[in-house]
Chains A and B, each alone.
Chain A
């Protein structure tokens, strides 16, 4: 099979010029284009972390798969966990176009050398957590990810288009579950409020440190990897979420939350960054457990993966032998 990638004619002489011109023209950089080393490294790190987050993110909800309280909820949750595995795979595939191997990235994840979203280091303690993860965590992820659909790196942007579509349904199922619980018993309503109380601040922290403390943001914005600042996305999330919380009938646990007429948006308090930093440093409630599970799956599966390789090698050897025979 022979392919050739068609790039629109952009009058540029050096590879650097061509790269800059493609990015400036809002076209996409494709895998075989020249790109600055730092651009490649930034993308690999970001896409890998994103992929790891999808895979580790299966665990907190997976915690409730076997105990889901109705068969419909069980099916929805299983389909969602499956989507997350799929998202991880799309993203690893995008990262591999940059010249890394998924096996290397997996090694980096299970040895703790690459991070994933710290939100998944919090425990899911009740079934309402499943709904709140869909509503708040997936909602925050969507805010982060929609702009990535226009990321300057083609394979990443294309993966994100598909992921965003699926995430929007993840968010809707979460909200629908919470609406059902809020219409339910007193115990169910308490469960929802408790889950909102525990997940609200970690969700806000998903957007990363405030712009003043985010040194790499400017370069990522210049490269069109990032489109909006962390604080801008956080504000957008709060503005989208507050009316949803009101409709649901839950209280967001922030006494400083109030409407700012002048700005036309919601003012909100500052997350406890010291706690998040502890979670990032590995002291979160579930850091060790999440990595252990992923490592165990990878290591326990090694003999299975090796068997498949050995089997394929035997079949390939047979085939080349047959071809040789036929060649005579």
Chain B
């Protein structure tokens, strides 16, 4: 039986226990960020597999890493602006998943090209035209319906890509993809559920959802358009078109929505995000993301 008259002693005990951390998945470590969880690269050999073109693999990891980084930055912009508190938690989760993927992929890019550049070197010290993300992820958030529409399209396509990449010869990329499959499945579930609620909710929400889909749909084609690097070291994204469109069509049909009939966004002299040719939205996004790091060259944070 505890003696509750000595309350100060009790509380001191709690303060002490707060300062202790025991290892293991059930231990105190799980209360910290990013610890107590399985490292997706645990036991994964980071040496380049024989016959891999390091420059190509680096470029490919940058493409996928930049997609994840830029979309996570957009999701982060929702923080303190979500339509309900439960959605704050959910949107932050999606952002954290994508940020985690970006860090692993950019780190891999710096290993693969032999430059030894870190995730931060690549995230903070490249210029806009060196970013290789698709233009869909850099578009401003718009309203909740637009953000959900973008998330639905991106998560469906990226989930399908990661499934194919889980068998990639590069063990690091394969490990990132294997974990990403699970994360993207959740993102898709979240976006699907909201597409149904908005599409089949009130007349106003249905109108917003239609407008959101119409606005983002022109950016979808770029996710199925292969860059030569993708053809050499990755998965040909054209192979994803049919299954992804079928999956999206099914969701939209259930939501009482129709697949937008809008032409894809044109490229610039045949070049788009994967070539470093972006929309005007990327510059301000990167300016904000990079401003503090660039104000203190060489500083450690």
Q: A79-B34, A89-B85, A293-B80 are in contact. Are A70 and B301 (CB under 8 A)?
A: yes
Tell me if B124 is interfacial: C-beta within 8 Å of chain A.
yes
In the complex, how many angstroms separate the beta carbon of A315 from the nearest chain B beta carbon? 9
B205 & A307 in contact (Cβ 8 Å cutoff): yes
A: number of interface residues (CB 8 Å): 69
Q: A89-B89, A165-B18, A227-B7 are in contact. Are A81 and B79 (CB under 8 A)?
A: yes
A88 touches B (CB below 8 Å): yes
> Is B244's beta carbon under 8 Å from chain A?
no
**Residue A136 is within 8 A (CB to CB) of chain B in the complex:** no
CB distance from A325 to the nearest CB of B (A): 21
Chain A binding site: helix, strand, loop or mixed by DSSP?
helix
Is A305 on the interface with B (CB-CB < 8 A)?
Answer: yes
Q: Is A26 an interface residue (CB 8 A)?
A: yes
Contact A300 B99 (CB under 8 A): no
- For the complex formed, measure the closest distance between the CB of A48 and the CB atoms of chain B, giving whole angstroms: 14
Within 8 A of A (CB), among B66-119: 69, 73, 76-77, 79-89, 92-93, 95-96, 99-100, 102-103, 106, 119
Q: Which residues of chain B come closer than 8 Å to A80, judged between CB atoms?
A: 33
List residues of chain B with CB within 8 A of the CB of A311. Answer: 196-198, 200-201
Q: How close is A2's CB to chain B, nearest CB, in angstroms?
A: 27
B92/A78 in contact, CB under 8 A = yes
CB-CB under 8 A from B268, the residues of chain A are none
For residue B88, which residues in chain A have a CB less than 8 angstroms away from its CB? 58, 82, 85
Interface digits, B42-74 against A, CB 8 Å rule (1 contact, 0 not)? 000000000000000000000000000100010
**Residues on B with beta carbons closer than 8 Å to the beta carbon of A309:** 201
**Complex Cα gap A142–B34 (Å):** 21
Give the CA-CA distance A183 to B86 in the complex, in Å.
Answer: 38
Q: Which segment, of B127-135, B173-181, B271-279, B286-294, faces chain A?
A: B286-294
A146 is an interface residue with CB less than 8 A from chain B: yes
Q: Are B79 and A168 in contact (CB under 8 A)?
A: no
Contacting A at CB under 8 A, from B228-269, are: none
Chain B residues lying within 8 Å of A67, measured Cβ to Cβ, are 288-289, 291-292
Q: How distant is A190 from chain B, measured CB to nearest CB, in Å?
A: 12
Q: Which residue of A lies closest to B75 (CB)?
A: A78
Q: Is A79 within 8 A of B80, CB to CB?
A: no
Alpha-carbon gap, A306 to B18, bound state (A): 41
List residues of chain B with CB within 8 A of the CB of A187. Answer: 296, 299
Option from A70, A227, A305 in Cβ contact (under 8 Å) with B11: A227
Given A59, A76, A85, A184, which contacts B299 in the complex, CB threshold below 8 Å? A184
B positions within 8 Å CB-CB of A: 4, 7-8, 10-11, 14-15, 18-19, 28, 31-34, 69, 73, 76-77, 79-89, 92-93, 95-96, 99-100, 102-103, 106, 119-120, 123-124, 143-144, 196-198, 200-202, 204-205, 208, 288-289, 291-293, 296, 298-301
24 contacts between A and B (CB under 8 A): A59-B80, A65-B79, A66-B76, A66-B288, A69-B301, A70-B120, A72-B301, A75-B96, A78-B79, A82-B89, A82-B96, A146-B15, A150-B4, A150-B7, A165-B28, A168-B18, A180-B301, A187-B299, A301-B84, A306-B201, A306-B202, A307-B204, A308-B201, A311-B197
Give 9 nearest A-B pairs by CB, closest first. Answer: A301-B83, A307-B201, A307-B205, A82-B92, A304-B83, A168-B18, A85-B88, A79-B33, A311-B197
